[in-house]
Amino acid sequence: MARQQGLFALILALAIAAGAVLFSFPLQLGLDLRGGSQLTLQVLPAGAIKTVQREQLEAVKEVLDRRVNGLGVAESTLQTIGDDQLVLQLPGEQDPTRAAKVFGTTALLEFRAQKPGTEREMQGLLRLKRQAQSVLDLSRRRTSAEPAQPAAPGQPPAQTPSFPAEDLAKALRELGVSVPPGAGETEQIEALLDEVNKRVVALYEPAALTGKDLVTAGRQQQQTGTGWDVTLNFNRQGGEAFAKLTQSIAGSNRLLGIVLDGRSISEASVSQEFAAAGITGGAASITGNFTAEEARDLEVQLRGGSLPLPVKIIEVRTVGPLLGAENIRTSLVAALAGLALVAVFMVVVYRLPGAVAVVALSLYALFNLATYALIPVTLTLPGIAGFILSIGMAVDANVLIFERVKEELRSGNTLIRSIDGGFSLAFSSILDGHVTGLISCIALFALGTGLVKGFAVTLGIGLLLSLFTALSCTRVLLRLMMSYPTLRRTTYFLPSRQLTSPAA
């Protein structure tokens, strides 16, 4: 009996430890339960690299890691999958558009000088660009349902930028942009802007300086106006290149173009005063009249460096926090209802040992949750399903044992002998059932992806723990109870009519 008491003390200690673990380490909830965005990125081969290797994937991951950290989303995770994929989880992030912009681009920053003799063409293009951009900005503000700044009463509303239809048609025609019939004004302007940007980039010389020589990037609010600038700091080599570049165009009407991933994001003029030495000191700023958010995203991309290989977003999953909360609520209700039904069933069918099994099963659930918190396992919807299912399988071990105990009792054995016999006879089938279950869990975990993996982990943990609780907790509790003579009654195990029927 001392051995039972020792084991009982151990189980009690484990239960308290599990409770403490749950109290101090919160369970990690998956994005489907708490809301957020998940992006799967595929790294594409480019240039001389025909297939993506492990090192290249790691290099891409490193750059993205820096961008993730720069973005400041709490508890974001970035993992590699297979040979050429990355999964990025951003809890709480509701707008995958932004994330896609920050992570889906290579962020190759280039500084280019304008080709000589293209001043007139450039001016025309930039005028068109400004006009198109301001109209687009206005219409975006309108559709994003932000109330426009109300005009002061009694005053006429502020002048709004517009793009008269005939001017637009003329510009489209001149640039040779074809728009599909039926396209609205916004689509036409977008198409125009695209073409203008392409032509602007074509007017620059090849890159003189790239983001490789960038040390850090920051942002600051413009002193006039509400826009933001992105500031840049180059290393020594970059600073020299930048000085040379600015010197070459200072005082001319040629512009300095800042090109990100082949798109012109800003153009700056360099005044006469820098004609002697160029802009020295290794610092520059991009004045693109950015919004605070745009400036931050750009800063993050630049600071993180450029991606060694292009990436493509192949999967985006976004779950709203309300939907996540709903998922938690329903699966919690289902888990509790399932447990309650099983508990009632066990007590009705197996009486005293049934009640013991309910205690053991509660311990089992507690140990499971503590293990999830400790490892840690991120709980997702299929994970919860795996947990609920493993409860069903844990019960099976108890059912097997108690059925054997009943058989032993029916064939006339004493209570204690029957209990011991029940455990030892049921052991081999319990073991076989659990081992085969674990085999499939291992196969699922090793070969499965995403959801399947989460399911395999929770089911696997469940199977291991149920082996422990069924064979030790149930047994110890039952043996301990048998040390009290009042509980040592066969009718607590078996209805008397079954006992009296001869076991021929």
Residues 163-182 that bind another protein (CB under 8 A): 180
**Cα–Cα distance between 87 and 204 in angstroms, integer?**
37
Q: Which stretch binds another protein (CB under 8 A): 109-117, 240-248, 296-304, 447-455?
A: 447-455
By the rule CB under 8 A, 327 interacts with another protein: yes
Shortest Cβ 455–another protein spacing (Å): 5
Measured from the CB atom, the residue of 240 and 261 that comes closer to another protein is 261
Choosing from 51, 144, 155, 226, the residue that interacts with another protein (CB under 8 A) is: 144
CA atoms within 13 A on the CB side of 244: 9
Neighbours of 9 (CB within 10 A): 11
Among residue numbers 184 through 213, which ones bind another protein (CB under 8 A)?
Answer: 184, 186-187, 190-191
295 touches 228 (CB < 8 A): yes
Shortest Cβ 436–another protein spacing (Å): 5
224 touches 212 (CB < 8 A): no
Site string for another protein, 293-322 (x = CB under 8 A): --------------------xxxxxxxxxx
By the rule CB under 8 A, 326 interacts with another protein: yes
Site string for another protein, 1-20 (x = CB under 8 A): --------------------
Shortest Cβ 51–another protein spacing (Å): 15
Among residue numbers 362 through 391, which ones bind another protein (CB under 8 A)?
Answer: 381-382, 385-386, 388-389, 391
By the rule CB under 8 A, 435 interacts with another protein: yes
130 touches 266 (CB < 8 A): no
Phi/psi at 284 (5° precision): -155, 165
By the rule CB under 8 A, 45 interacts with another protein: no
By the rule CB under 8 A, 503 interacts with another protein: yes
385 touches 32 (CB < 8 A): no
Q: Which stretch binds another protein (CB under 8 A): 4-12, 213-221, 265-273, 430-438?
A: 430-438
- DSSP element (H, E) containing 41: strand 36-43
Shortest Cβ 480–another protein spacing (Å): 24
Q: Which stretch binds another protein (CB under 8 A): 8-16, 127-135, 297-305, 338-346?
A: 338-346
Among residue numbers 456 through 475, which ones bind another protein (CB under 8 A)?
Answer: 459
Q: Which stretch binds another protein (CB under 8 A): 8-16, 114-122, 252-260, 441-449?
A: 441-449
- DSSP element (H, E) containing 229: strand 228-234
Among residue numbers 389 through 418, which ones bind another protein (CB under 8 A)?
Answer: 389, 391-393, 395-396, 399-400, 403, 407-408, 411-413
Residue matched to tokens 């840690």? 376
Q: Where does residue 3 rank: exposed (0-12), middle (13-18), buried (19+ CB within 10 A)?
A: exposed
- The residues, ordered by sequence, that sit 6+ positions from 330 with a Cβ below 8 Å of its Cβ are none
- DSSP element (H, E) containing 240: helix 236-249
Among residue numbers 114 through 143, which ones bind another protein (CB under 8 A)?
Answer: 143
Sign of CA dihedral 214, 220, 222, 223: negative
Measured from the CB atom, the residue of 253 and 436 that comes closer to another protein is 436
65 touches 275 (CB < 8 A): no
**Cα–Cα distance between 319 and 93 in angstroms, integer?**
9
**Cα–Cα distance between 250 and 60 in angstroms, integer?**
37
220 touches 290 (CB < 8 A): no
| Length of the chain as a residue count | 504
Shortest Cβ 260–another protein spacing (Å): 16
Measured from the CB atom, the residue of 174 and 315 that comes closer to another protein is 315
Measured from the CB atom, the residue of 58 and 315 that comes closer to another protein is 315
Per DSSP, the three-state class of 91 is strand
Measured from the CB atom, the residue of 191 and 377 that comes closer to another protein is 191
Q: Which stretch binds another protein (CB under 8 A): 8-16, 236-244, 435-443, 484-492?
A: 435-443
Structure tokens belonging to residue 225: 């106006």
Q: Where does residue 145 rank: exposed (0-12), middle (13-18), buried (19+ CB within 10 A)?
A: exposed
Choosing from 9, 375, 439, 487, the residue that interacts with another protein (CB under 8 A) is: 439
Measured from the CB atom, the residue of 252 and 413 that comes closer to another protein is 413
By the rule CB under 8 A, 97 interacts with another protein: yes
How many residues at the interface with another protein, by CB under 8 A?
92
Cα 229 from chain centroid?
Answer: 30
Per DSSP, the three-state class of 111 is strand
Shortest Cβ 380–another protein spacing (Å): 11
By the rule CB under 8 A, 441 interacts with another protein: yes
Choosing from 346, 352, 369, 473, the residue that interacts with another protein (CB under 8 A) is: 346
**Cα–Cα distance between 411 and 504 in angstroms, integer?**
8
Neighbours of 416 (CB within 10 A): 12
Shortest Cβ 142–another protein spacing (Å): 11
**Cα–Cα distance between 434 and 428 in angstroms, integer?**
10
